[in-house]
Structure 1
């Protein structure tokens, strides 16, 4: 059995499939609002008229993406191979509830909550890919996108502290 680090680099020797290429493009495009909004938030003055709207946009976007990632786990649980346990459906619910609650939490705590939730979800997805529950390319992509999302949410945390 290979270790996790070997699995992360295994795809370097294989050509990318069309699903992996599309997934990478969509993933990077999905990370773009995190980058733009967090950098904008970090760069504007605390009394800027768009500050409140920027905070709201970033929080809602983070909640939506976190909910989407919970939905990915539902999709994996519904696939016939390998057979899923009913608990996998239940475990897809916390990302939705955490994202939703972050929208109503005070800043900067809301950004910290989202950063922790994204880190946990990203780790769960990477380990699921390592175990064969999700495709290996998806696990590798999730590691990179998770780091990006967590860093941008920490920037937003710093900007609102």
Structure 2
């Protein structure tokens, strides 16, 4: 850089000497010539120092920094989550209304009581098992009709279209089919299917439901399905034990 500056200054001074020599010979030692010469030298020197080719280092550093940094527009900005949405994600069963929570828990008692009583007494009661299947069919019909009640109001986010209303009739149809089976095993499995479909509708297809209600629906469906399956398990075990006892009595006789 310094050799370049010296070369430019040397060439400029040499040009000035060649251009100003005739003026000095013509004007002699006139003060006016010296003053004009000094002004002309100052103008050229300032023009040389202000040359656009000699930019300061700060300009180059700023350009390099702008080249290596991305524009703020292209940077991804994560939108801040609103307080209402954050509060919805934090909801749990504690935020559920007391009547809804207690009535739902009380509605699970008939499901749990049947297999528990048969397991404690060691006896299978077909009437109690059929009563449990019937209660499960009624519950599935109630959950299907609840979808109609959610879609019919004017301000509801769910429209009363063919999809919502037809999905509300599927659990009652499956529940009715469960009561037509003569075998309790087939009826219980059909009721479990109806409860699972109703849960899928309430959790996946209707997101405007409160979070506490979805959690309550999941846990309630799990308890109901496990209770029905527990009744079938107790039936198989006790029936197998009864067959073995009869066979032993026949062998002894």
Cα distance in 2 for partners of 1:90, 1:145 equals: 23
Partner of 1:35: 112
TM-score, normalization by structure 1: 0.80
Question: Is the CA contact 1:74–1:92 (under 8 Å) kept in the aligned structure 2?
Answer: yes
Q: Does 1:10 align with 2:90?
A: yes
Q: Does 1:152 align with 2:227?
A: yes
Q: Which has the larger radius of gyration?
A: 2
Cα distance in 1 for partners of 2:88, 2:105 equals: 18
Aligned residues: 148
Pairing of 1:7-156 with structure 2 (within 5 A): 10-12=90-92, 16=95, 20-43=97-120, 44-46=122-124, 51-80=125-154, 81-84=156-159, 85-105=161-181, 106-129=183-206, 131-132=207-208, 134-156=209-231
RCO higher in structure (CA 8 A, sep ≥6)? 1
Cα distance in 1 for partners of 2:147, 2:103 equals: 18
Unaligned runs of 5+ in 2: 1-80, 237-253
Measured at CA, do residues 157 and 25 of structure 1 come closer, stay the same or move farther in structure 2, by a change above 3 Å? Answer: same
TM-score, normalization by structure 2: 0.53
Question: Is the CA contact 2:133–2:184 (under 8 Å) kept in the aligned structure 1?
Answer: no
Cα distance in 1 for partners of 2:180, 2:216 equals: 29
**C-alpha distance after superposition, 1:8-67 (max 9, x if no partner):** 96214x9736xx221111100001100001222444424xxxx12202211110111111
Q: What's the RMSD between the two structures over aligned residues? A: 2.5
